[in-house]
Structure 1
């Protein structure tokens, strides 16, 4: 069984980002949604995940415009593969108006 969490940090302010909508596309084409909490985190997908390729969309445009006045990215998609061995996967996102990065966290 795989589990999944995410965390968003604004690298310009050095703070977590609350209220970002997330859309997770599953291998079967279905989607799940969530919203980051006051610490910029989300983990309550309500289901374990099978192995396969997923896309996690971070809807960051409104936040970047309201906070920084500019945004190059209307959304950011991170595509990743969950294995069949089970385990926890963490997909953090570091954002600014003109850049982002991600990695497999713990």
Structure 2
């Protein structure tokens, strides 16, 4: 399984560079990273177990570093891995008081 993400600041219309991101299965941290200048992070390559996984975004720290207020100290997105060999892209569209996501490709 490969897992990647892309975080976009929907208020400013630009990538959310420098945000910490973790990939977890249960309480085990499988990978950690920081979004690059384009707001992207690749978190895993290779097979893993099927089942629920989580991506946790460090939104509070990211907004604080920009001296911006946010309602969300972190955003956690849980998703199911059905095919451990498949690529899973978990994007985040972010604003200080709202967020959305979708199954990416």
TM-score (norm 2): 0.88
For 2:15, the equivalent position in structure 1 comes to: 16
The size of the alignment, in residue pairs, is 104
For 2:98, the equivalent position in structure 1 comes to: 99
> Residue 18 of structure 1 contacts residue 36 of structure 1 at CA under 8 Å; is this kept in 2?
yes
For 1:88, the equivalent position in structure 2 comes to: 87
For 1:77, the equivalent position in structure 2 comes to: 76
1:50 aligns with 2:49: yes
Residues 15, 46 of structure 1: CA spacing in aligned structure 2 closer, same or farther, 3 A cutoff? same
For 1:30, the equivalent position in structure 2 comes to: 28
> Residue 64 of structure 1 contacts residue 96 of structure 1 at CA under 8 Å; is this kept in 2?
no
TM-score (norm 1): 0.87
CA distance in 2 between partners of 1:89 and 1:50 (Å) = 13
Which stretch has the larger CA shift, 46-55 or 11-20? 46-55
> Residue 2 of structure 2 contacts residue 45 of structure 2 at CA under 8 Å; is this kept in 1?
no
1:60-93 CA distances to partner (integer Å, 9 max, x unpaired)? 1122234362100000000000113631110000
> Residue 3 of structure 1 contacts residue 87 of structure 1 at CA under 8 Å; is this kept in 2?
yes
Once superposed, what is the RMSD of the aligned Cα atoms? 1.7
